[in-house]
Chain A
């Protein structure tokens, strides 16, 4: 995935879309206030400078799907593991809730289910049948909408054709109004995401930790 920080307006549509797509339970205002909201993708806001010379920066942060993910080796039960496609999968049914993966994650993009899932009405009527619910005591995180990846692949297979670039769109990508988020196959050098990732503006988040993330951030050129 590539994120063009120049285009991001910090609108938060990706956060909302992610909640809707992935059956992320709403925890209520009180729990959210003490830091138990589960935003698989969040828009980080950083202010630079002193008032009135303030610059506001946005950075959408989701699971970086690292190639050398610190969350994977620490899981005692393989609930957190690497798939053949290179995704960091989280097997909810295998998770026993040591929360070690979340501690090891430098990006803090893993979330613990402190209670059984519940939704503020009427959100409970719009659950996605393609995504499993998580019970109390397990970790959950961004999957790059693995259910959409799987269904697009199955569709392409049924129609006996190759996947087209841009055919798979995670919920955040689909809902991003300025198209700041781009998703695709990094193994295909011609895909849009590969071209963007090769851009001189590109860098990965917290590169020096050596996690080799698969999300590329394109640096801001204009100023808000």
Chain B
């Protein structure tokens, strides 16, 4: 085999989704687009008629929207955090995984960040959260966890987009060199004048090293700050000191699940079997198993301490989730988040691609329920029994929730159509002036190994 052949194959395989489009793509985009449109219509309806068409009521003022907010910000921990850590430890198997992970981060952050707007009573005034010099000299309240959220999410979004964009530059150049017409002009702009000179490679590596180090603390802080939304308020079962690590662990947990589902879909529909191997799923599966154990520990800890403390208002919420009206959801959550991953991922024979995907779907459902069960039962059982209440989601909330999942898929499908979803240059190191920076391929993953 000549040395040029694998390059050629790599480029053909990974650029094919960009250059060839089948009717299935249009159908998929159409179907997902309809769902997204339905969500937008639902949101417009809510603004037009008033928030009353949603299901929230006194005293449960947060419902599906805030659940979705926390859930999607959690999913966003798939990407940047995992890929940054894998980059920092220079793990060989990371190469085909990093970009599909980083894309999840960028898109789920955008979707998650929409929910604070959707759930506002007066979303048209959301700009008051930004500190801008107004004529009335009013600033946002920097003591409010919601303002911390605003800054944390904006920082994380900026960082993740940079972290996603930097390693895409050489690939944009590759697309530019292979296309013509409008496509060529667009990718020429995106490639930012990339010519692959040693100086450019050096700067790219330097920038990516800085971003990989910088993004890890940002990612950890983002979900800690999201957890502060709850733990800073004197609400039973919210005021807990473990919420920071509990939320971060849950976020990484659900993020890995999202990543495994996305990778399995890419592998199947874009025919990337030669690039995404069972070993990638197994490695991520092991990581998810660790997070499942960690999550189980945190839930046990939260419950045990509450039970031991035996505060009357906490116990009201405790029993409500443990064996009363929210118990079916609670035990579904425990099954999906703990029992299922432990059985499937803990037993080597079940840790196949299919097994990992099944466990991941379980974890996604379970983690969504976890966020819901943190928010609603506590708000419905705050201290004075006279003001106990509950919550029933209404169609507008359900439609918007479904639409966000469709929006995530749609953005992902479109991204995979316009950008090589597997980093081409990281797969073939030969162009790189210092191949040592590109980690060696693993035995299970020989393709792309060209710098022997």
- Which residues of A line the B interface, CB within 8 A? 31, 34-37, 42, 44-46, 61, 70, 73-78, 94-100, 102-104, 106-108, 111-116, 135-139, 205-206, 209, 211
A138 touches B129 (CB 8 A): no
Smallest beta-carbon distance A181→chain B, Å: 18
- A108's contact among B50, B59, B139, by CB below 8 Å, is which? B59
Q: 6 tightest A-B contacts by CB?
A: A97-B121, A137-B121, A114-B52, A99-B61, A44-B386, A108-B387
Smallest beta-carbon distance A49→chain B, Å: 15
Q: Which chain B residues (116-170) contact chain A, with CB distance < 8 Å?
A: 116, 119-123, 125-126, 128-129, 138-141, 143-147, 150
Q: Which chain B residues (57-76) contact chain A, with CB distance < 8 Å?
A: 57-59, 61-62
Smallest beta-carbon distance A136→chain B, Å: 4
Q: Taking the complex as formed, is B382 at the interface, i.e. its CB lies under 8 A from any CB of chain A?
A: yes
Smallest beta-carbon distance A99→chain B, Å: 4
Residues of A within 8 A of B382 (CB): 106, 108
Residues of A within 8 A of B387 (CB): 44, 107-108
Report the nearest A residue to B141, measured CB to CB.
Answer: A78
Q: Taking the complex as formed, is B405 at the interface, i.e. its CB lies under 8 A from any CB of chain A?
A: no
Q: Taking the complex as formed, is B383 at the interface, i.e. its CB lies under 8 A from any CB of chain A?
A: yes
Residues of A within 8 A of B129 (CB): 76-77, 96
B121 touches A112 (CB 8 A): yes
Residues of B within 8 A of A137 (CB): 50-51, 120-122
- B232's contact among A31, A45, A74, A98, by CB below 8 Å, is which? A74
Smallest beta-carbon distance B378→chain A, Å: 9
Report the nearest B residue to A31, measured CB to CB.
Answer: B52
Smallest beta-carbon distance B33→chain A, Å: 29
Can you report 25 A-B residue pairs in the complex whose CB atoms are below 8 A from each other? A44-B386, A46-B386, A61-B386, A73-B141, A73-B144, A96-B122, A96-B125, A97-B121, A98-B120, A98-B121, A100-B145, A103-B62, A103-B233, A106-B235, A108-B58, A108-B382, A113-B121, A114-B57, A115-B49, A115-B52, A135-B122, A136-B121, A205-B384, A209-B383, A211-B234
Known: A77-B141, A96-B126, A97-B122. Is A104-B59 also a contact (CB below 8 A)?
A: no
Q: Taking the complex as formed, is B42 at the interface, i.e. its CB lies under 8 A from any CB of chain A?
A: no
Known: A99-B61, A103-B233. Is A108-B52 also a contact (CB below 8 A)?
A: no
Residues of B within 8 A of A45 (CB): 386
Residues of A within 8 A of B56 (CB): 99, 112
Smallest beta-carbon distance A3→chain B, Å: 15
Bound-complex Cα distance A35 to B120 (A): 19
Smallest beta-carbon distance B317→chain A, Å: 13
Report the nearest B residue to A208, measured CB to CB.
Answer: B311
B51 touches A97 (CB 8 A): yes
B121 touches A206 (CB 8 A): no
- Which residues of B line the A interface, CB within 8 A? 49-52, 56-59, 61-62, 116, 119-123, 125-126, 128-129, 138-141, 143-147, 150, 229, 232-235, 379, 382-387, 389, 392
A112 touches B140 (CB 8 A): no
A77 touches B128 (CB 8 A): yes
Residues of B within 8 A of A136 (CB): 50-52, 121-122
Tell me what chain A mostly uses at the interface: helix, strand, loop, or mixed: loop
Report the nearest B residue to A71, measured CB to CB.
Answer: B233
Report the nearest B residue to A36, measured CB to CB.
Answer: B57
Known: A75-B144, A78-B138, A78-B141. Is A106-B120 also a contact (CB below 8 A)?
A: no
Bound-complex Cα distance A94 to B139 (A): 11
Smallest beta-carbon distance B197→chain A, Å: 47
A99 touches B121 (CB 8 A): yes
Residues of B within 8 A of A114 (CB): 50-52, 57
Beyond the given A76-B141, A98-B120, A99-B61, please list 18 additional residue pairs across the A-B interface where CB-CB is below 8 A.
A35-B57, A36-B52, A44-B384, A46-B386, A78-B141, A96-B126, A96-B128, A98-B121, A98-B146, A100-B233, A102-B58, A103-B61, A104-B232, A107-B384, A112-B56, A112-B121, A137-B50, A209-B234
Most chain B beta carbons < 10 A, residue from A46, A99, A107, A138: A99
Residues of A within 8 A of B145 (CB): 74, 100
Smallest beta-carbon distance B371→chain A, Å: 15
Bound-complex Cα distance A168 to B167 (A): 69
Most chain A beta carbons < 10 A, residue from B59, B116, B385: B59
A138 touches B140 (CB 8 A): no
Known: A34-B57, A103-B235, A108-B387. Is A76-B150 also a contact (CB below 8 A)?
A: yes
Known: A111-B58, A206-B384. Is A76-B121 also a contact (CB below 8 A)?
A: no
Report the nearest A residue to B140, measured CB to CB.
Answer: A76
Residues of B within 8 A of A31 (CB): 52
Known: A106-B382, A113-B121, A138-B121. Is A74-B59 also a contact (CB below 8 A)?
A: no
Bound-complex Cα distance A96 to B138 (A): 14
B383 touches A206 (CB 8 A): yes
Report the nearest A residue to B239, measured CB to CB.
Answer: A209
Bound-complex Cα distance A80 to B371 (A): 27
Residues of A within 8 A of B62 (CB): 99, 103
Smallest beta-carbon distance B136→chain A, Å: 10
Report the nearest A residue to B142, measured CB to CB.
Answer: A76
B235 touches A104 (CB 8 A): yes
Report the nearest B residue to A34, measured CB to CB.
Answer: B57
Residues of B within 8 A of A116 (CB): 50
Most chain B beta carbons < 10 A, residue from A76, A78, A108: A76
Smallest beta-carbon distance A31→chain B, Å: 7
B59 touches A102 (CB 8 A): yes
B386 touches A103 (CB 8 A): no
B61 touches A112 (CB 8 A): yes
Residues of A within 8 A of B146 (CB): 74, 76, 98, 100
Smallest beta-carbon distance B73→chain A, Å: 16
